[in-house]
Amino acid sequence: MALSVVILAAGKGTRMQSSLPKVLHPIGGVPMVQRIINTVNELGADAINLVYGHGAELLQKTIQEDNLNWCLQAEQLGTGHAVKQATPFIQPEDDVLVLVGDAPLIKAETLAQLQAVKQTADVALLTVNLDDPTGMGRIIRDASGENITAIVEHKDASDIQRAIQEINTGVMILNGGDLLGWLDGLENNNAQGEFYLTDVIAMAANAGKTIRSAQPASAVEVEGVNNRVHLSKLERAFQLEQAHHAMLAGATLADPARFDVRGELTVGNDVTIDVNCVFEGKVTIGNNVKIGPNCILQNCQISDGAVIEANSIIQEAHVGEACQVGPYARLRPGSVLETKAKVGNFVEMKKSTLGEGAKANHLTYLGDATVGANANIGAGTITCNYDGVNKSATVIGANAFIGSNSALVAPVNIGAMATVGAGSVVTKDVDDDALAIARAKQRQMTGWERPTKK
């Protein structure tokens, strides 16, 4: 039996006050609807039918999935009408899972539980109990409490019904054949003049079908976003969960409320992470790593025992074992630090390798450079890798010593054990073991008198 998913995302999202369609606003760096798509793919969805109404171009540019059908709902006439737009893609023998596009935190485990309930019933409905159910569709049960008989929308509900705290989350699984029939029978003679998907529940009950419910572990899984206050609430809930994962995996977090993962973070044991760090893309951190406050780590790998000091930015880089980085270091794409290498404050690296034990401790730019083991790059050293048109390489041998404030004009090779005098502008290769000094000679004039005020 195929699992066909319908995601309702045609609402305009007016309260977001945004030119971006609501479902493209991100949670943890991923658009809400993409998050839902990832979750149902995890579940093994065969087809995903995305009902959309606004921002088609942006949506189609952002969301690209092989198993996705785009279903336009030109006019938003209600959730039942929305599901109807997907009927060309629904087969009678399918299990149809309906989801709302603006509740991004739904978990695959919860949906799997709902699938398990569907095995025992004709319709499986995800419900939740809320302290304040205002605005939501209420779940009506028979006297036994066992069987669900209807959903009544808040605006259509009596006072007695409004006292019910069990609500419809908007998530359900039905047989394709049943659903196709019931959708045809929907009417819009209700308080909102809409075709309610929720009316199919009473139809099911009247047809003698069994309707059973499952509940999510936490209500936040089914909470929807209508404005940016809701968005920030769900973002924090999501981030707190990421923080818990990191802590349970071996990281001590200075403050789980000041921790942001916008991708996939893997941590080893005995990692400490100070406040306000942001992890983006795929970040892997080994054992015994220390990360100072305000660091941004993006698609990078930090090996065992490395220390990343405050305010460092590391992008698409590899930091080897026991390396030290920062404070205020910037490792751009293609930076590689081999074991015990050290990069200090205000050092920028790009497409460069710092060999084992090599150091660039202060105020340096290394671009398109290869630095040998144990070389020392003095403060203020710049590899001049760009002539305005092309990029060229600098190669520095093992144990070389580059004096402070030197400009190495690429392409250029500095030999192993070579020394470059401070303040040099090096335009020619330097041999192994040689000393190169490329600066104006110091002169001294004796008997010089300082000017005096006229």
Spot the catalytic one: 54, 154, 230, 362: 362
Task: Supply φ then ψ for residue 439, to 5 degrees.
Answer: -155, 165
Q: Which of 4, 39, 69, 79: binder of ligand UD1 (CB under 6 A)? A: 79
Shortest Cβ contact with ligand UD1: which residue?
137
> Tokens 């009950």 correspond to what residue?
205
> Please, which residue, 168 or 424, has the CB nearer to ligand UD1?
168
> Please, which residue, 226 or 299, has the CB nearer to ligand UD1?
226
CB of 134 to Mg ion, least distance (A): 12
Alpha helices in 77-193 (DSSP H): 79-84, 108-118, 159-162, 176-184
**Contact present, 103 and 25 (Cβ < 8 Å):** no
196, interface contact from Mg ion, ligand UD1, none, CB < 5-8 Å by kind: ligand UD1
> Please, which residue, 224 or 367, has the CB nearer to Mg ion?
224
In whole angstroms, give the CA distance from residue 26 to residue 53.
Answer: 19
Q: Per-residue x/- marks for ligand UD1, 300-339, CB under 6 A?
A: ----------------------------------------
Q: Does 403 bind ligand UD1 (CB under 6 A)?
A: no
In whole angstroms, give the CA distance from residue 26 to residue 17.
Answer: 15
**Contact present, 238 and 220 (Cβ < 8 Å):** no
The vertex-58 CA angle with 52 and 60, nearest 5°, equals: 65
> Please, which residue, 8 or 363, has the CB nearer to Mg ion?
8
The residue range among 55-63, 120-128, 165-173, 328-336 that interacts with ligand UD1, by the rule CB under 6 A, is 165-173
309, interface contact from ligand UD1, Mg ion, none, CB < 5-8 Å by kind: none
Size of the site for ligand UD1 (CB under 6 A): 27
CB of 205 to ligand UD1, least distance (A): 16
Tokens coding 273: 């992470």
The residue range among 74-82, 329-337, 361-369, 411-419 that interacts with ligand UD1, by the rule CB under 6 A, is 74-82
In whole angstroms, give the CA distance from residue 77 to residue 81.
Answer: 6
Chain-centroid distance of CA 452 in Å reads 66
Tokens coding 189: 């003679």
- Cα separation values, 270 from 306, 321, 372, Å: 12, 15, 31
The residue range among 205-213, 222-230, 238-246, 446-454 that interacts with Mg ion, by the rule CB under 5 A, is 222-230
Q: Count H helices, E strands: the chain?
A: 8, 37
**Contact present, 127 and 167 (Cβ < 8 Å):** yes
Q: Which residues contact 95 (CB under 8 A, 6 or more apart)?
A: 1, 2, 3, 4, 115, 118, 173, 174, 175, 176
> Please, which residue, 139 or 337, has the CB nearer to ligand UD1?
139
In whole angstroms, give the CA distance from residue 296 to residue 275.
Answer: 11
Alpha helices in 376-443 (DSSP H): none
> Please, which residue, 13 or 224, has the CB nearer to Mg ion?
224
CB of 84 to ligand UD1, least distance (A): 10
**Contact present, 102 and 225 (Cβ < 8 Å):** yes
> Please, which residue, 170 or 344, has the CB nearer to ligand UD1?
170
List strand residue ranges (DSSP E) for 332-431, in order. Answer: 335-337, 342-350, 353-354, 359-367, 369-371, 376-377, 382-384, 394-396, 401-402, 407-409, 412-414, 419-420, 425-426
Q: Which of 102, 235, 280, 321: binder of ligand UD1 (CB under 6 A)? A: 102
- Cα separation values, 438 from 255, 418, 421, 432, Å: 51, 14, 7, 16
Q: Per-residue x/- marks for ligand UD1, 11-50, CB under 6 A?
A: x---------------------------------------
Q: Does 10 bind ligand UD1 (CB under 6 A)?
A: yes
Contact set for ligand UD1, span 141-160 (CB under 6 A) = 151, 153
**Contact present, 271 and 288 (Cβ < 8 Å):** yes
Q: Which of 197, 243, 261, 373: binder of ligand UD1 (CB under 6 A)? A: 197
> Please, which residue, 102 or 356, has the CB nearer to Mg ion?
102
| Known catalytic membership, residue 318 | no
Contact set for ligand UD1, span 218-277 (CB under 6 A) = 224
CB of 175 to ligand UD1, least distance (A): 19
Which residues of the chain form contacts with ligand UD1 (CB under 6 A)? 8-11, 51, 73, 76-79, 81-82, 100-102, 136-137, 151, 153, 167-170, 196-198, 224
Which residues of the chain form contacts with Mg ion (CB under 5 A)? 224
Q: Which residues are catalytic?
A: 362
